[in-house]
Amino acid sequence: MKTIQAYRFALDLTPGQERAVRAHVGAARVAHNWALARVKAVMDQRAAERSYGLPDALLTPSLPWSLAGLRKAWNAAKADAAPWWGEVSKEAFNTGLDALARGLKNWADSRQGGRAGRPVGFPRFKSRRRGTPSVRFTTGAIRVEPDRRHVVLPRLGRLKLHESARKLARRIEGGTARIMSATVRRDGGRWHVSFTVEVQRTERQPARPASVVGVDVGIKHLAVLSTGERVDNPRHLVAAQARLRALGRASSRKSGPDRRNGCRPSNRWQRASDRLGRAHARVANLRRDGLHKLTTRLAREHGSIVVEDLNVAGMLRNRRLARHIADAGFAEIRRQLAYKTGWNGGRLLVADRWYPSSKTCSGCGAVKAKLALHEREYDCDACGLVIDRDHNAALNLAALAAEFTTAGSGSVAARGADQKTHTHGQVAVKREPGTASAGKTGTVPTARRGNQSRAH
């Protein structure tokens, strides 16, 4: 099974190497801003000519928005726009032009209704201080050295790694991996190199292929499993909040950049800002490490995993819980489970967003009309079952896997259950793309579930 996988390593750059990397990053920004200014100028000119009543045939020729078109225009003008263009790799300019081509395509697709999700705005000019500096290499000498402590990149040469690249090197030497591109990026106060690799993975099976587990994510507990296991929420952001506040106050007392008068930041402000960035990066790394360990264990042990299709963007509008929801990483758990179940031969099932997992009794199937958030125990009025609210939701999610198997994947539901309550409804369970046997959405009748409600 061939998959696209990333390997990320920290770099230990010398001052000269860091200057070279920053030069490549600046070249990518220059190419992006030049092409964006050219695109905007052509668009404004054509709009002005249309206002004068000129026919389309007489308008200024439009500039192609594809990567090939932007690259052709840049190559024709780079001698004047960037006389120093020969000092850096051509991949640096390609990085900026590719980012602009993607941004223009996303904006056009969003305006024409061909892109799902929130509306995408028109691309903006890149700033030297805002944003994340990065440069991507797709051609040239890209390899891991035999000592597994150094990598070679075009024009940058031999760069030392902070850690061993033995995992990637073993796959390359065994012929089961092929490096497609490398991206150098500054994150959390230090530089990293990320390799996009095509990996030939062996077919695997979970330790218990017939096992089904429902996963109910939350704030008090990061995840409650249908097996009864509760995974504590480490709350890394809450634990680091005091230090983050202190570093933020220390940074505010320094002389920072002022865009109104062009004042540059002081060295003390820069050092304080770096300390604050490293503290935030540590929180992100701790959260990422915990989520990877949890999702890897679930994907390796269970054959079927059932999660909910949560409206995380809507949940973040709750100002009392937004910080805790963001700290938990609900969407990241589902994203990691999606590809890890495919790697391990399992399947990920996603319950419909409107499925009342918390309001439904796992014993008799009765559905409550309302269940307040502060009610942490589910007390069934029909059968008298008293059970933890999150454990009850996890049991209901696990039960959906059996209903999906019974119904099969022949029928496809565009949306599943709706917001209104019905005596006989339907609950949609879909396989996540990328998992084993993925590709269709199954709809199962749920007459025994009773009335459905919108939230839980």
What is the per-residue pLDDT across 61-110, written as a single tens digit (0 to 9) for each?
888 999 999 999 999 999 999 999 999 999 999 999 999 999 999 999 99
CA separation, residue 415 to residues 106, 412, 429 (Å) = 24, 9, 10
**What is d(CA 294, CA 112) in angstroms, rounded to the nearest whole number?**
40
Domain span at residue 90 reads 22-111
Q: How many domains does the chain have?
A: 3
Q: Which residue has the higher pLDDT, 335 or 256?
A: 335
Residue recorded with tokens 């395509």: 105
Cβ atoms of 122 and 109 closer than 8 Å: no
Residues 166 and 60 in one domain: no
User: Structure tokens of 366?
Assistant: 């009765």
Residues 370 and 348 in one domain: yes
Query: First-to-last CA distance in the chain?
Result: 39
Per-residue model confidence as pLDDT tens digits over 419-441: 333 333 445 556 665 555 443 33
| Inside any domain, residue 253 | no
Residues 228 and 365 in one domain: yes
| Inside any domain, residue 38 | yes
Per-residue model confidence as pLDDT tens digits over 224-233: 999 999 999 9
pLDDT greater than 70 at residue 185:
yes
pLDDT greater than 80 at residue 450:
no
Active site residues: 216, 308, 390
pLDDT greater than 50 at residue 391:
yes
Residues 349 and 392 in one domain: yes
Residues 164 and 216 in one domain: no
Residues 314 and 432 in one domain: yes
Residues 48 and 159 in one domain: no
Residues 218 and 294 in one domain: yes
Residues 7 and 141 in one domain: yes
Residues 214 and 78 in one domain: no
pLDDT greater than 70 at residue 412:
no
Residues 106 and 143 in one domain: no
> Percent of the chain scored above 70 by pLDDT?
88
> Percent of the chain scored above 90 by pLDDT?
63
**Using alpha carbons only, how large is the chain's radius of gyration in Å?**
26
| Inside any domain, residue 284 | yes
| Inside any domain, residue 66 | yes
